[in-house]
Amino acid sequence: MTTENTRPQPSGEGLSRIQISAEASRAIDAWAWALADGSLRLWQLPDAINTLWTLAFEEGRRSRDHEVHALQLDADRWWLRAFGDQDRKQYLLERLEKAADLANRPDVDDVLDETWRIYLASLDNLREPIQLPTTQFKRKEVA
C-alpha cells in the first residue's frame, strides 16, 4: 500500500494495486455474475464480500442522488404545469393553507416564518401531502 509519510491523493494517485490470487479472482467474478443473474443471494456470500458489495452499492446510489432529486423536481414541475392556470393556483393555495394549519403556533411571526418554510420545502415534492418535518438520527454500522 502506501508508506506512513506519503498519503495517497483523493484521485487515487499514489495507491498501489491490490493483488489477489487467480482462484480468488475467479470466485469473486463468478459470485458477481451469479448475483446479477439471480442464482446467488447476497446473504450467501462471505461477510467481507457482502460488506464490500453493500458499501459499493450505497456509494453508487449516493453518487446519483443529486441527479435523481433534480429529475424528481422536473417531473413534479411538469406534473403541476399539466394543470390549467386556475387549477394550479388553487392547488398551490390549498398547499399553502395546509402548511399554515400545520404551523399554527401562538407567535404570529414564528407562524408566518414556519408556514413559509414548510410551504417552500413542500414544493420539492408536490404530489405528497404537506407534513411537519421529522428529525431522525440514522446511523449505519460498517462491519
pTM of this prediction exceeds 0.85: no
The secondary structure element, H or E, covering residue 96 is helix 85-102
Q: Quick one: how far is CA 114 from the chain centroid? A: 25
Q: What are phi and psi of 11, to 5 degrees?
A: -70, -15
Instruction: With H, G, I as helix, E, B as strand and everything else as coil, classify residue 3.
Output: coil
Length, in residues, of the chain: 143
- One digit per residue, the tens of pLDDT, for the chain of length 143 reads 445 556 656 677 778 888 999 999 999 999 999 999 999 999 999 999 999 989 999 999 999 998 998 898 888 888 888 888 898 888 888 888 877 776 666 666 666 777 777 777 777 777 776 665 565 555 555 55
Give CA–CA dist 112/93, Å, rounded.
Answer: 15
Instruction: With H, G, I as helix, E, B as strand and everything else as coil, classify residue 49.
Output: helix
Q: What is the DSSP letter of 129?
A: P
